[in-house]
Amino acid sequence: MTPTITAFADSPDGGVGLARDMRVRWALEEVGQPYDVKLVSFGEMKQPAHLSRNPFGQIPTFEDGALKLFESGAIIFHIAEQHPGLLPTEPQARMRAIMWMFAALSTLEPPIIDLEQSGFIDRGQPWESDARMEVLKDRIRVRLQQLADWLGDSDWLDGDFSAGDLMMIMVLRRLEGDNLVEDYPTLVAYMARGMARPAYGRAYDAQHQVYLAASAAR
């Protein structure tokens, strides 16, 4: 059966692949699993049909037969469990790749989202300040340095490319243009290696086509 994922009908990211369907598309492309995409508007995401897929009214979701999943981490973990290519078969290496997925989502992504959100949610609020932005950026810099130190001269986080790298690179991409990750050549090169993968390119093009069609219809 062909799984169906959901994605923004008109993504606010300008088609640059920062919406989280991109990471799921990339995983599906890596393992060679064809998929369908159901596009949802912001309004539809808060309606019962979509809330039955994800009670938080967000994308991406993943449906395959009776299985309905939300949370990009859970979806990619499932894809990686179902198909070879994204997780090592050796049990300890496999567990370490899963650990890196968690690290991306629970150690790197939260401070990055804090910074992202402070850029628009906090704007004009009494607590908005340059000092607060610097604190948020410094928190991220600590993690970026630690990650760069870990990577060193390695191509990937632990052995071959894995779902852990896929997730980490997608999380780091959220910093593009913020003059943060750009200060870490090791991480810039790491991201470029991931983004040079043919599966990444196919996923990027697919989500970009959606954006172009939405722009043309506007």
Ligand X SMILES: N[C@@H](CCC(=O)N[C@@H](CS)C(=O)NCC(=O)O)C(=O)O
Is the Cβ of residue 113 or residue 189 nearer to ligand X in the bound state?
113
Q: What's the closest the beta carbon of residue 146 comes to ligand X, in angstroms? A: 22
In angstroms, the CA 72 to CA 166 distance is 11
Is the Cβ of residue 56 or residue 138 nearer to ligand X in the bound state?
56
Binding site for ligand X (CB under 6 A): 19-20, 45, 57-60, 71-73
Determine the 3-state secondary structure of 164 from DSSP. Answer: helix
Q: What's the closest the beta carbon of residue 113 comes to ligand X, in angstroms? A: 8
Is the Cβ of residue 58 or residue 118 nearer to ligand X in the bound state?
58
Which residue's CB comes closest to ligand X? Answer: 58
Is the Cβ of residue 57 or residue 88 nearer to ligand X in the bound state?
57
For residue 103, the number of C-alpha atoms closer than 13 Å in the C-beta half-sphere is 20
In angstroms, the CA 166 to CA 26 distance is 8
In angstroms, the CA 164 to CA 170 distance is 10
Instruction: Report the relative pairing of strands 61-64 and 36-40 from DSSP bridges.
Output: unpaired
Q: Do the beta carbons of residue 61 and residue 53 sit within 8 Å?
A: yes
Q: What's the closest the beta carbon of residue 57 comes to ligand X, in angstroms? A: 6
Q: What's the closest the beta carbon of residue 4 comes to ligand X, in angstroms? A: 16
Is the Cβ of residue 41 or residue 146 nearer to ligand X in the bound state?
41
Instruction: Report the relative pairing of strands 36-40 and 4-8 from DSSP bridges.
Output: parallel
**The sheet that has 4-8: what strands, in order across it?**
36-40, 4-8, 61-64, 67-70
Q: What's the closest the beta carbon of residue 138 comes to ligand X, in angstroms? A: 24
